[in-house]
Amino acid sequence: MTRIGEGLSRRDFLGAVTAAALLGPAAALAAEAPKSDRKVRIGVVGGNFGLQFQWHLDPNCIVEAVSDLRPDRRQYLQHVYKCEKAYESLEKLVLDPKVEAVAVFTGAPDHARHVLECFKRGRHVISAVPACLTLEEAQAMKEAREKTGLTYMMAETTYYRWPTILARQLWKEKRFGRFLYSEVEYYHNRIGAATDGLSVDQGQRTWRYGYPPMLYPTHSTAFHVGVTGERLTAVSCLAYGDDDPALKDNAYKNPWCNQVALFATSGASICRCNVFWRVHSDGERAQWLGEKMSMYMSGASGQPFVIREAGKRDVKEVPDYFPLLPEPMRVATGHGNSHGFLTHEFVMALAEGRPPAVDLYEALAMTVPGIVAMESSRRGGEQMKVPGFDRTKGPA
């Protein structure tokens, strides 16, 4: 099985993909046979976003059980994943001895707590983004992962957007030359507002009500961290808030709907990161600027996709990466067709006994900078250092 999680890392394969990307479609590429025929038995928790993944289509996966607090969502999870077993809560599901891994698609404030509960019960975990909301949670997750040796992966969709896969390939080939600057963006107009349908459900506030933009940074930061492997090491963040009632009274004491962060990186480059909830735009987008090559994603502004390389013709098409998945999983999904790649990467990491692409250390490298950026905003844009949560030296 080609290790998509390491940027399609086999040398001969990488060269072929890059040539195809710069000269035409990559449709001739195909996934290799899996290295393992082991079936991973997974429990899926969260009958909203959790429905959008292809666990039931992965040849190496069995959906053993599902869970949601709401009976209607439990039933829909059972229907989609063709699963007979359902539990009323994550806490009950993790007690099932046949469940070896859990897909946690609960509300953002619950991710760290639920991941730690899974680790406590000896279960591997993939969770929705972000990994956590505080530095204390980040430390607790790191300590638990290294103590137990269990696998964690964050389901960051930006990592497997096809332009990101391509940028990662070109970065590994050093095609950008010295990497100077990136702009990374996530726009979701009206999310978190008092009148937003995802923030108020059946008259009750959800976790999204007044949610701070920079505590949901990974759709943006993954464009830089997930391409270069660099760490975001310092940040200055400015913020804007309007008169929406959700910003006057929310669980986060958050007064802002838009935040702009300027990060310094471990590679001596600069990353400008936007997360906006009030803007006439939508979606995730990036551009990567280097001395020899620059790459621009398409976006709501009308900017077309283009790669510009010194002395060569512009490239205006992204390769088709579906052939890298098993045939049953080649289905269109949200977030730039990334869901199947996330699903398969986690399953194969467990089946093959290796770390997944967006493991805990990469997840925290994408998440923690936003936590510090939030504090920078509270301090009027003061530049602050971003602590690292990389692997502790040793056998863990």
pLDDT digit string, tens, across residues 222-264? 999 999 999 999 999 999 999 999 999 999 999 999 999 999 9
pLDDT digit string, tens, across residues 356-370? 999 999 999 999 999
Q: Is the pLDDT confidence value at 20 over 60?
A: no
Distance in angstroms (rounded) separating the CA atoms of residues 59 and 33: 11
Relative to beta strand 61-67, strand 306-309 is unpaired
Q: Are 386 and 234 in contact (CB under 8 A)?
A: yes
Where exactly are the structural domains of the chain?
A: 24-157, 159-323+360-385
- Out of 24-28, 127-131, 212-216, which region has the weakest mean confidence (pLDDT)? 24-28
On whether the 159-323+360-385 domain is CATH 3.30.530.20, my answer is no
Q: Are 152 and 126 in contact (CB under 8 A)?
A: yes
Find tokens 């390389």 and name the residue: 309
Which of 128 and 37 is assigned the larger pLDDT?
128
Retrieve residue 258's tokens: 């838009």
Distance in angstroms (rounded) separating the CA atoms of residues 40 and 58: 10
Beta strands in 88-244 (DSSP E): 101-104, 124-127, 152-154, 179-188, 200-201, 204-205, 232-240
Q: Is the pLDDT confidence value at 3 over 80?
A: no
pLDDT digit string, tens, across residues 100-115? 999 999 999 999 999 9
Cα torsion through 65, 66, 72, 75, rounded to 10: -30
* Residue range 210-223: mean pLDDT, rounded: 98
Class of domain 24-157: alpha beta
Q: Is the pLDDT confidence value at 141 over 90?
A: yes
| Residue 12, pLDDT score | 32
pLDDT digit string, tens, across residues 282-334? 999 999 999 999 999 998 888 899 999 999 999 999 999 999 999 999 988 98
Q: Which residues are registered as beta bridge partners of 288?
A: 182, 295
- Using the CB atoms, write b or e for 49-72: b if 16+ within 10 Å: bbbebbbbbbebbbbbbbbbeeee
What average pLDDT is seen over the chain? 91
| Residue 389 confidence class, pLDDT cut points 50, 70, 90 | very high
Q: Are 293 and 170 in contact (CB under 8 A)?
A: yes
pTM: 0.91
| Residue 334, pLDDT score | 85
